[in-house]
Chain A
Amino acid sequence: MATTSKQYKAIGEDIWKGRTEKTNAELFALTYGALVVQLIQDYEDYAEVNKQLEKMGYNIGIRLIEDFLARSSLGRCADFREVGEVVAKVGFKSFLNITPVVTHTAPPSRPNSTHQQGNVAGSSFVLTLDENPLAEFVELPEEALDGGLWFSNVLCGVIRGALEMVQMQVQAEFLSDVLRGDESTEIRVTLLKYLEEEVPVGDD
C-alpha cells in the first residue's frame, strides 16, 4: 500500500501538531550560530569545521531516528524514493517544522533495466530548502565564503546518521546554499548501499 505524497504531508503535520514540547526557533538558530562561530575560532580551518559539523550531525541523527520512529510509527520504506518523501515531509516537518521539496533522481542505470530503479545504489534525491531555520540571522563573511564553509552541514550529518540506523548507507552533501549567494539551498542524498542487519555476537 503505497502512501501518497499528500498522506506523508498529513502525517508530518500531525506529528508536528502532536508534539507538546516546542522551543523558540530563534533561540535554536542563535545557539547553532554561536556554536558554529566558536568552532571556527577553535579549529581555524573551514574544511575541518564542515567535518565537525557533519560529525555532530551524525551523532544527533543516530539518536533522532529513534525518536522519529517512535513518534511516527511508519514502517519500512519500500524504496529509496519513499525514503526521500519521508525524510522531507515527515522528518524535517516533525523536527524543524519545514517541508523541503524533494526531487528524485534515478541512478545512472543500464538502458534495459526493468527492475525497480528506486532500490539501486546510486539513487539519490535532492532536498531543496525554501527556508532554513538554522540560518535565520546569518550572514557569512568573505573568508567563510572563500573557505568553503557549509553553515548548515549539521543537517547532512543528521540525515546520514539517521538513515544509517535504518540500514542505509548514504552520502549527504550540500550542493548550494543561499548563505553563499546561490539561488537555493540544496542537499543531495545518495544511496551508497543497504547495510546488512548485524546479529550481535552471542545471539543465536
Chain B
Amino acid sequence: MTSRPLHSPAPSPLAPLADPPVRLVDGAAMDYLLIEAVNALRASSAVAAARAKKIEQEMAEAGILPLPPPPPPMKPQQSHRDSVGSMTSRTPATSPDNEEDEGVRTRLEAIGLHVGGNFVERLCRDRPLFGDSLDAIKFVCKELWVSCWDKQVDNLRTNHRGVFVLQDNTFKPISRISSWQGRSEALKHAKIYVALPAGLIRGALARIGLHGTVTTEITSLPHCTFQIKLPKNS
C-alpha cells in the first residue's frame, strides 16, 4: 500500500457537496407507491367529497343554501382487493364513479404540479435562462423526460404559435398498465394515471415561467401524446 501525499491535487472533498451524485431509489418502489397512491387518493377524495356534501346539506337545512336535488343512488364503496390487478373492477361510468375519477384525477394532477415545479428547479440550477418557449419545451422533451422517465420524447411538433405536441411511443408510467378485464379497461386506468405526468409537465413549465395547459391523449398503450398550449405572448 503506497502512501499518498497529504495535499494531493485530487478533486476537493467539497466537490460532492457542491455537485451531489444523483440519489436513486429502486424503480419498483416508485411503481408500488404510485399504484397505492391512486387507491389512497380514491379513498381520501371520497371522504373529502362526503364531508363537503355534508356541509352543503347542513347549510341547506339551516336555510343558507337552496336544497340540492336528491342525490343519485350511491354505489357502495368497493374495498375488496383483487390479488392480480391493482384496480378493482369498475362498472360503466355512473355519476358517482365519474365524480370519484375526477377527484382522483385532480389530486394526481395537483401532486404532479408540485413535483414538476420543484423537480425542475433542481434540474435548472446551473442552467442559463431559456431563450424562448421553444428552448424551454426542448428542455422538457430532453432533460426533464430523461430525468423522470429515462428516455427522450420521440417526436415534437409545433405550430410556432404556442401549441406543441409531444409524442412518446413508450411512455414509462403507463407502459406496464394492464387489466384482466381487457385493453379498454387498461386504457381507462391509464387515462387516470397519466394525470400525474401531465401535472408534472405543467408544473415544470409553470416554474420555468410558461403558464399553459397540458392535455393528454392515449389511443393505444403505451403510446401517449401531450398537447401543450402556451399563451401567445411567450
Contacts and interface: CB of A to CB of B under 8 A. Distances in A.
The answer to whether A binds B is yes
A95 B39 contact: no
Q: B interface, by DSSP: helix, strand, loop or mixed?
A: helix
Contact residue range for chain B? 35 or more
Given A26-B122, A95-B25, A52 B37 contact: no
Contact of B34 (A31, A43, A55): A31
Contacts of A97: 23-26
Interface string B104-117: 00010011001100
A42 B32 contact: no
Q: Could you tell me the dominant secondary structure of chain A's interface residues? A: helix
A63 B23 contact: no
A33 B51 CA distance: 23
Contacts, number: 117
Interface stretch (B42-50, B67-75, B129-137, B185-193): B42-50
Contact of B44 (A39, A63, A67): A39
Contact of A42 (B27, B48, B81): B48
A182 interface: no
Interface in B15-62: 22-30, 32-37, 39-41, 43-45, 47-48, 51
A21 B28 contact: yes
B25 A133 contact: yes
B124 interface: no
B23 A133 contact: yes
